[in-house]
Every structure is written in C-alpha cells, then in structure tokens.
Structure 1
Amino acid sequence: MSKLDVIIFIAYLVGIVLFGSSFYKKNKSASAFTLGNQSIPTWVISLSIFATFVSSISYLALPGQAYLTNWNAFAFSLSIPFASYMAVRFFVPLYRSVNSPSAYTYLENRFGTWAKVYVSVMYLLTQLMRAGTILFLLALMVHTLLNWDMATIIIVTGFSVMLYSLLGGIQAVVWTDAIQAIILILGAVFCIGTLIFAMPEGVGQIFEIAAANDKFSLGSFGTELTSSTFWVVLIYGIFINLQNYGIDQNYIQRYMTSSSEREAKKSALVGGLLYVPVSAMFLFIGTALFSFYQAKSGLLLEGTPADKVFPWFIANQLPVGFTGFLIASVFAAGMSTISTSINSSATVILTDFFKLSDDPENGKKSMMILYSASFLFSFFSIGVAIAMINVQSALDAWWKLASIFSGGMLGLFLLGYVAPKVTGKPAIAGVIVGVLVIGWMSLSPIWFPEWGLEDYASPLHSYLSIVFGTVAIFVVGFLGGNVIHRVRKKVAVNA
C-alpha cells in the first residue's frame, strides 16, 4: 500500500471514531444509550440492519467462495425475503408489544427466569467470540498488507470501536453503521467496475470464462442431505435468518429504536432485502476475479487461498488511493458488526441481569453499568482476538461449542410463540434434547472418528444441525407440554 492509501485508511478510522463519539451529548440516559429515545430515522435503521448482516467475514468470504466454487451461497440470500416477511408479520409486533430493550424479556415472561438467563448468556458468549474473530480477521488483513504488528492492530481497532460505541450509544452505532454500509456498497461497486474494465476482451469475457467453468451454478438441486445442495443451503438460511429476525438482540433492539411499529416494519423489510442484491454483488466479484486471473494468469501467485484472492486484488490491482478506500470498506463491515455487538451486549447485561427501574435515582447507576459492560465486553473481545493469533484451533472448537448452545434459541422462541400451553419443564426438556441433537450433528463427524465411533457419526451436512435441533426442541417441548396439560386436566376433572 502506498502512503496515500495508508493515510486514507487511517483518516477513515479516525473520522468514524470522532463522528460516533460526537453523539455523547445526546447519550445521557439508559433510554438514549439503548433505544436512542426512539427518534432515529427509518432509513438509518434500515442501513444499520443491513450492516449487521454484512461483516468483514462475508465481505471477504463470499467473493472467495464464488472464486473457488460457484453461487451456491446465494441460496442463503434467497431465504431472507421469507425471514423479512415473518419479521414484519409477527416479530416486530410481538417485541413492540413487550416493550423491552432486551429480546429475552419475552422468554422470561413465557417460561421464567431460567429461559432468559440461558439465552442471554449464550448470546453474550456468541457475540464475544464473533467480535473477537472479526477483530482478528481485520488485523490479519492489515498485517498482510502493511506488516504491522497483529496485537497492536487488534488493540487499536478494538478500543477505537469501543470508544465511539461507549460514548455515543445506539445512536452512534446505527449512524456509523449507515455510513459504513454506504462505504462498503460503494467499495463493491468500484471493484466490479475495475474488474469489468480490466478484462482484456471486455465484460463479455467475464461471463464466457465463468460460464465455461460453471461458476454461476446455484449448486446441486438434488434431495440428498449430506452436501451443501441448493435446498440444504436454502433451508439453513431460512432457520438462521428466522433466528436473526426472531431472537437476535442485534436485530430486535433496532425494532425498538424506531419511532413506531410501522417504521420498525419498514426498517426490517428494507434492511433485510437490501442484503440480497449486495450479496449478489459480492459473489459476482468472486466470479469476475476467477475470470480476470484466468485471463491474466501471471498476476496471481500460485497457491493463493481462495479467501485471499480478493485482498490480493485490492492490494495489487487497484489504483493508488482506491486501495485505501477498499480496505476502509472492509473495515467498515467489521467495525459495524463489532459496535453492534458491544451496544447490544451492554443492553442485555443491564436489562436482563440488573433490571433497574426507570426511577431517576437509578439513572446514573444504569449508565455506569452500560459503560462498564461496554468496556469489559470490548476488553475481552480484544483478548479473544489476540489469543487467536496463536491458538486458533482451540478457539475454533470453542466457537463451535458456543454455536451449538446458541442454536437452542430459535426452538425455544418458536415453542413459546406457537404453543401457549407449554410451560417451563417441557421447554427445559426440549432445549436439552435440541442441544444434544445440534451437538451430535456438529461435532460427531469431527470427534467420533478419533474415538473409533465412525458408524455413529452424523451423516447429514452440518448446515442442518440448527434445522433438526430447532425441530427437536419444538417437538419435545410441544408434546411434553400437551401431555402435562392433559394429565392436569384429568386430575382436575377427577377431583
């Protein structure tokens, strides 16, 4: 990277921190910190929901996957319209009626404190790992390009995001999300334009080479459940996005920041649907990169991993100045996700574990908890990111375990929403069975062969673990709840 690129990148980072921190004067109460006093424009919340979808992982991973294989990942995007409709039809009205900054107050109302604590803890652990992973990946990219020290990059980035998230609250998060969403979209558009004009024989050559290598395929349309067919990815996307829209604090909190239910529905719909064409842009970048380096094979080092082809293109093929802008756009995707995790996690900690009233005397105490929670979450996520420098394999295993437990969230929510007769004990049994199913499907293909138990490992694709786990929670809880209800009814009649 040239000095101009570095200056542009650093200027972006400093500018975002200063802009986000400028909301400090509007952030003097817990309501302002968590809900922005419900005065944030709808278009800003829409872009914030979109930016929550797009992390730096997807910014780099989608082009990498399209470069290596095809457009199979787009099946995931095609599930979003259904999840967006469910949000508008059911989720937004539900959470607006509960009227709590925390998504998990509803589960406490349905099943008791244990449900809220279980889901809240799993959410916090998952967000901690997510923020740490993204910090690590951002640092890895900058280290690769500039050879700066990894730990230093992680610490500076982590505390930069923490600073504006802590000072500006949810208003800083959603407004910076909106800016970062615009930057990352412009960055993707610029990359596509550069690739189109860089092809020796014009834009048609991209499609000719890609079509000859089946790069636009959406994957197999077969019915097997052992590979990532179109249907497996689509079903996986439906369940994951129902979990996002239905139980993820990152999204639910944005429903509550809107000025009305009508505006919240608009934000959920637009923010989700915007991801569909943008994800297609990212996938097209990967396809175009394949065609570009096929046409100009000498420009790419042999053996370059697929997920590093896009960063290589950014660093070596873009004009001076634009490389810094593109690196900033990748950082934009990562920073928006991290800031969201910081604010949402602090909100969950205050709302679910302290439950302070809105009494003015508790105002300072609430703000102190929110500030402390934001700082501690940022501190530990930085620690996770630094640890990943040397012990990625151990943390990968921990991340998989955290994903297993968080997989029980959607099933528990659906059980509470769809089956009003089900109470706490059947729900607990359902969660236990569901987590065991998810654990078996996710971990048995990895661990069972080492124990000589290959015949007992799950033959199904790991994408389906959340599908079967969610179904198991619902079925066990529903049947158990109805059995208990009938028994109690008979006892009451006989009495």
Structure 2
Amino acid sequence: MDLPIIDLIVFLVYMLAIVLFGISFSFKKRTTDDYVTGGGRLPSWAIGMSIFATFVSSISFLALPGNAYLSNWNGFVFSLSIPLAALIAVKFFVPLYRSLKSDSAYYYLEQRFGLWARIYASIFYLLTQVARIGSILYLLALPMNALFGWSIPLIVVVTGISVVIYAMFGGIEAVVWTDAVQGIVLIVGALTSLGIILFSMPEGPAQVFEIASAADKFSLGSVKFNFVESTFWLILVYGLFINLQNFGIDQSYIQRYISAKNNKEAVSSTLFGSLLYIPVSLLFFFIGTALYSYYQAMPELLSPELQGMENADKIFPYFIVTALPTGITGLLIASIFAAGMSTISTSINSSATVILTDHYKRYINTNASQKAAMRVLFLASFLIGGIGIVAGTALNGVESALDAWWALSSIFSGGILGLFLLGFISRKVKSNYAAIGVICGLLVIGWMSLSPLFFKGAWSDYKSAFHTNLTIVLGTMTILLVGFILTLLSINKTKINS
C-alpha cells in the first residue's frame, strides 16, 4: 500500500525538524564537558524524559503491542520490577557515580579491580551498543517494508544517518532534548491510537474489555515458578536483573546521573524517567489487547496476510496505516521512528564518551587538549553510528533479528553486571578472583545463549534447558558465587596458616 502524500509530508517534516533541532545545539561554544554532560545546564525533567526514551525503543513500540495481541500481559511484569531497581539505583548507584567525578561508568571498575576490568567492561559495552543500534534500525525497517514496500537497507541507512548527524554535532544536549521531544511524541501518538481503537468498537469501549477478558488477555502469567516457562516470577526476576544492569553499569544511564545539576536532581530525574516507563508500557500492552478485541469484533478489517504469530509486530503499524485519519497516520509513523531514534542517539553519544574516557584518554593521550578530545568525540560518534548502520543492513534476511539481539546482548553485557555487583557488595574480593568469576559467568552465558542455536537434532540434549530470560540471572549469579567462594576460601586458608 502507498502512504498518502499528506502523511508522508508529516513524517518527513518531523524527521527533518528533529535533525535540525539536534544540530542547533552544535552552534554553542562547546567543550568536552558540554558535549558529554551538558555542562550541568540540563533540567531534571528533560534528563528524566531522556532516561524514559532510552527505555523505549522501536522494539518496545512494536513488540509490546504485538506480544499482548498474541498472548497476555505477562511481559508487563518486566515493568513491575522497575520500582525496586530504581530505588536501589537512587540509594546506592547515583551517589556512587556522582562522587567518582568521572564521565565513565567503568572508572569505578578500574578503581576496584584494575585496568583489565575497565577495558573488558568498556569494550563489551561498545559491542553491545553496536548490536543494539543495528537491531533497532533493522526491526524499525521491517514493518515499514511490509506495509509500504520501502527498501529495508534504505530505511536503515537514512534513519541511521539522520540520528548520527544530530548526535554527532549536538552532543548530550541534543540527545537529551530530542529524546524529550520524541518521548512526548510517542506518548501522544500511543494515546491517540488507543482512543481511536476504543471509540471505534461497534458496541463502545466496554466491548474491548469484554472480548479481552473472555480470552484471558489481562493475565500476568502463571504464578508457579519454574526455569522453563515464562511465568510471573521468572519475568519479575529477569526484569530486576536487567534493570539493575541498566541503572548500575550502563554508560547511557550513568551519563545522565552526572549530567544533572546536583544529587537531588539526579535522583528525581532517575525516578521520573524510570517510573514513567511503567504506565507507558502498560499503555502499549493495552493497545495490543485493544487491537485483539478490535479485530475480533471486525475481522473483515484485518488483512489475511497478517494472520499468524509471525506477523504480530506488524499489527499496530497496520492499524496505524489503515484505520487512522490522514495526517494522524504520519504522526504515528513518526512516533515509531521517534522510539528508535531516541535509543540510537543515546547509544551513539554514550559510546563516544566511552571511547574518549576509557580508551583515548586512558592509554593513548592522557593529556589530550580540548580540541583533540572534541575531534575524538566527533569521530567516535561517526564510527559507532556507521558501524551500527552496517550491522543493521547485515541483519537483513536474518531469520530472527530479535533472537539474534537477545543472544548478542546477553553475551556482551551479561558479565559486566556480575563484575560490578561483586565489587560493589564486597570490598574483600580480589582482582584475580573477580577475573575467574567473570570467565565462569561468561561460559554459562555463552552456553545458555548459543547452545540452542548449535545443538539441534541428535545433539539437542546438550543445549540449555533454561528459559532464555534466565541467561543474565544465572550468568550474574555464577560470577557472584565464584567470586565470593574463592574469597572465603582464601580468607579461611589465611586463618589456618596463621
């Protein structure tokens, strides 16, 4: 189908406006402090909106409604873990990072375990961000290709270049302020969609609840705990570990802590941004459930091509194109791109900061001038964005890009959380014990992530029997247990010898 010219204009004007708005921050006199932390000028509400926008990506915008459309609200349990993780963050993590006086999240690991820990964490963070940028760009392009026939590589390249331009030239201020704008756009777009669905029902909004309740669409999942099925407790534990990883060791979050004017504003922005995601994710799940009721009540409106589980992520974009008024459709498509662009810009800026602080300034040029440091930030932003675009185009044709992203992110980032918690919880764990713990944790993570892909058929008995979401949980716990056990053995041996 073709996108009406008015909707296309709305979409293109939005994309151009965001790029120009982001570039406008490049006209200010810039230092590395301005580029990385905004020079302490950023208001807490804008930082909070940026944290929220980092939570929401095109994966969330498309996958959450698709998930609710297919099954129930089990995935929403992930959001229910955020309050506990956020409270831990503002109590312990925010004060820790603001007291270190470093732009890097991984400076703490060097202080605690030595340079190897900082290099390991920063490199794996960069690998995670490249995979993330590529996955989001590709997953953003899929529904647009299916609905309009737009070229997947073209969408990936154009969207990627647009974000790279304003993230590279505007720095953290451009990222935060465009995130704030795009966060508002996607919330308004989602609310508009839900309102139209509810009041388009043949028997009124109440019919949505009647149909959905009959199909048990509001269930949060089984309360039985096992290691194989996606139960309430499994998703809750998984969400807690993922959010501890976000708040505790993700450069993009830590960079926002230190961008706030003071500790109070850092705490308020962290709570605002993280807790805002809870009602918004609920909104996305409700949209998916409402779409199920909508197309059950009016099945003739759903294209036969979209029947089946493999097309669930295309249901929401299909509704946007076929059911919304002209002009609103363009705004909603823009909001889908807004969700992806905000996350990508954050990844680019935080990655450039890591390259400058953890690598260039640490062991290439420790006394880099402002001019040299700014060149590194520009070049690093360009390179990370470019590699991410290449990764996005390389995913074209992959059987499951989302599965590939989950596997890569588990391997690249799973061990960093365990290492951070090991150093944070106990001051007695030594560097060599931490290294052994990380190696053991990565072996567990690698087996759980990759064995289902390689051990098939006659070899299927050797693959992991655990649910995929437990990868980061078991990997992190392995690192902690190995580190603590080795430390206890060392302490006992010392006591015996003395």
Aligned to 1:344: 350
Query: How many residues get paired?
Result: 491
Offset at 1:106? 0.4
CA deviation profile, 1:404-456 (whole Å, cap 9, x unmatched): 23101111000000110111110011001111112222332332234x33333
Aligned to 2:28: 26
Q: How far apart, in 2, do the equivalents of 1:383 and 1:461 lie?
A: 31
Offset at 1:480? 1.0
- Amino acid of the structure 2 residue aligned with 1:39: R
Q: Unaligned 5+ residue runs, structure 2?
A: none
Aligned to 2:125: 123
**Structure 1 residue aligned with 2:167, among 156, 165, 168?**
165
Offset at 1:483? 2.5
* 1:410 and 2:409 aligned: no
CA deviation profile, 1:117-144 (whole Å, cap 9, x unmatched): 1111111111101101111122233333
Aligned to 1:7: 9
Q: How far apart, in 2, do the equivalents of 1:271 and 1:73 lie?
A: 20
Aligned to 1:215: 217
Q: How far apart, in 1, do the equivalents of 2:67 and 2:312 lie?
A: 7
CA contact (8 A) 1:27 1:33 kept: no
Offset at 1:489? 5.9
Offset at 1:392? 5.3
* 1:54 and 2:60 aligned: no
Offset at 1:103? 0.5
* 1:462 and 2:468 aligned: yes
Q: How far apart, in 1, do the equivalents of 2:353 and 2:176 lie?
A: 15
Q: How far apart, in 2, do the equivalents of 1:395 and 1:191 lie?
A: 25
* SS state at 1:465 partner: helix
- Amino acid of the structure 2 residue aligned with 1:316: T
CA contact (8 A) 1:197 1:203 kept: yes
Offset at 1:361? 6.3
* SS state at 2:369 partner: helix
**Structure 2 residue aligned with 1:318, among 321, 324, 328?**
324
Change in CA separation of 1:453 and 1:75 when aligned onto 2, cut-off 3 Å: same
Q: How far apart, in 2, do the equivalents of 1:397 and 1:199 lie?
A: 38
Once superposed, which parts of structure 1, at least 4 consecutive aligned residues long, lie more than 4 Å away?
Answer: 356-361, 391-399, 488-491
CA contact (8 A) 1:444 1:458 kept: yes
CA contact (8 A) 2:37 2:259 kept: yes
Change in CA separation of 1:289 and 1:397 when aligned onto 2, cut-off 3 Å: closer
CA deviation profile, 1:277-298 (whole Å, cap 9, x unmatched): 0000000000000000000001
Offset at 1:358? 11
Offset at 1:360? 8.8
Change in CA separation of 1:66 and 1:472 when aligned onto 2, cut-off 3 Å: same
Change in CA separation of 1:323 and 1:465 when aligned onto 2, cut-off 3 Å: same
CA contact (8 A) 1:40 1:257 kept: yes
Q: Which moved more, 1:353-362 or 1:342-351?
A: 353-362
Q: How far apart, in 2, do the equivalents of 1:399 and 1:144 lie?
A: 23
> What root-mean-square deviation, in Å, do the aligned CA atoms of Structure 1 and Structure 2 show?
1.9
Q: How far apart, in 2, do the equivalents of 1:242 and 1:134 lie?
A: 22
Q: TM-score, normalised by structure 2?
A: 0.95
Q: How far apart, in 1, do the equivalents of 2:210 and 2:403 lie?
A: 39
* SS state at 2:102 partner: coil
Offset at 1:390? 3.5
Q: TM-score, normalised by structure 1?
A: 0.96
Q: Unaligned 5+ residue runs, structure 1?
A: none
Aligned to 1:387: 394
Q: How far apart, in 2, do the equivalents of 1:223 and 1:138 lie?
A: 34
Residues 442-461 of structure 1: matches in 2 within 5 Å? 442-450=449-457, 452-461=458-467
Offset at 1:311? 0.8
Offset at 1:152? 2.3
Q: Percent of aligned positions with the same letter in both sequences?
A: 56
